[in-house]
Amino acid sequence: MCDPIIENSILIKKEPFRKEIVEEYMKKKDNFNKYPLRHYSQLEIDFDPNVIKILLQKLQVPIVDTVVTVFAGYTGEFACCLRKLGAKVIFTDPLEEWVRKAISLGFEAYKYAAEEIPKDIVKRTELFATFEGYIPFMGSSGSIYTTLRFLTAKYRILFAESKRTREELKAEGATAQLKYSFLPYSKVYSVKRMFRQRGELRIYHFCADELNKRKISLDCKVMKLLYDNFPNRKNSLSKGTLASFAKKVGIQKAQILASLKRILDLYQLHIPGSLKFAFPENSFAIFSKRFYLEL
């Protein structure tokens, strides 16, 4: 598995999720209007272990003794429920106060945004899970690499969300946010999206078969190698360039070419139709670096 790609451009909106804001919300629920109420849904959901156990069984996701890395762990209720069900939970969050709380509750916990989770944790992880951690999947050039890293886990990705959040997003015009974010992965890697729901809680499972998992793993590796070996913000990938690159990194040129075509398709599928004119069809980006496939 590859190391994360970390740039200073990674922006995490932390203020609504800080402990003092959460405490203010808990005291003033009826007239709290500083931030959208969906930011506090994890505090309101009843994470009944029996209900979640049934939902996971229906999704055929094994949880007992499964190493689960929870990203965007926040106040920790979802992580606690997974632990009650027998998962070996690794807790991560970009805010120090929630990491400290998780440690006090006995979790192995680290201060990482999803994009920052290191290689050793990814290798140990059998399932990545989150409650409403949307940001890592929202279609940026950085989120593509992060999502692919998570899809290399044995049981791939588990995503939980509340009815309250879905209704608030719908009212704001951001409907089917998660579904559309994952459509490109479905088209390129046949990633399946399944969900089960009980009451206020819906749980999605995103998974791919072993053949596509190997493709995803290769594409992660190629993306990281491209990022590390091409220092410019704009880079042309010609036949000659690819030949020398393949020799340097020890991967067959045909494999790299197949990988690049998948990466290109994936990136282009993430571009909204109204913005296609601004992005050449032969180009893709890995964080701040842009590549042009000149073949």
pLDDT tens-digit map of 275-287: 888 889 999 999 9
Same domain as 187, residue 224: no
Q: Assess if residue 47 is contained within a domain.
A: yes
What is the chain's mean pLDDT, rounded? 93
Res. 31 pLDDT band, cuts 50 70 90: very high
Residue-wise pLDDT for 201-212, tens only, equals 999 999 999 999
For residues 251 and 278, state if they share a domain: yes
Query: 218 is in which domain, residue-wise?
Result: 211-294
% of the chain residues with pLDDT over 90: 83
- Residue 244 in domain: yes
Q: Are residues 37 and 61 in the same domain?
A: yes
Among 208, 238, 264, identify where a domain stops: 208
- Digit-coded pLDDT (tens) for 108-154: 999 999 999 999 999 999 999 999 998 888 767 788 999 999 999 99
Cα separation, 61 vs 127, in Å, equals 9
pLDDT of residue 177: 64
Q: Where are the beta strands (DSSP E) in the chain?
A: 67-70, 88-93, 108-111, 127-131, 157-162, 192-198, 201-207, 234-238, 283-286, 289-294
11 pLDDT band, cuts 50/70/90, is low
Q: Which residues contact 83 (CB under 8 A, 6 or more apart)?
A: 89, 107
> For the domain that residue 180 is a member of, what is the CATH number?
3.40.50.150
pLDDT at 277: 81
> Is residue 6 assigned to a domain?
no
Residue pair 166/203 in contact (Cβ under 8 Å)? The answer is no
Structural domain contains residue 10: no
Distance CA 244, CA 249 (A): 9
Number of domains in the chain: 2
- 286 and 168 co-located in one domain: no
**CA distances in angstroms from 289 to 45, 104, 141, 215, 234, listed in the order given:** 40, 40, 9, 22, 6
Confidence of residue 10 (pLDDT cuts 50, 70, 90): low
